[in-house]
Amino acid sequence: MTRAPYTFVNMSMDPGQRPRISVSFYTSGLRLRARVLESGRPYLALESDEVEVSVSTTGAGPVTTADVEVARQIFNAAARYLADCQRLHAESPELSDSDAQAGNAA
Q: Using alpha carbons, select from 34, 79, 77 the residue that is nearest to residue 53.
A: 34
* Calpha distance 43→37 (Å, rounded): 7
- CB-based contact 54:41 (threshold 8 Å): no
CA separation for the pair 102, 106 (Å, rounded): 7
Torsion, CA 62, CA 40, CA 37, CA 39, rounded to 10:
90
Q: pLDDT tens digit string along 48-86?
A: 999 999 999 999 999 999 999 999 999 999 999 999 999
E strand segments, the chain: 6-12, 20-26, 31-36, 42-47, 52-56
Predicted local distance difference test score (pLDDT) of residue 2: 75
pLDDT digits (tens, 9 = 90+) for 3-39: 899 999 999 999 999 999 999 999 999 999 999 999 9
Residue 106 reports pLDDT greater than 80: no
Residues, the chain: 106
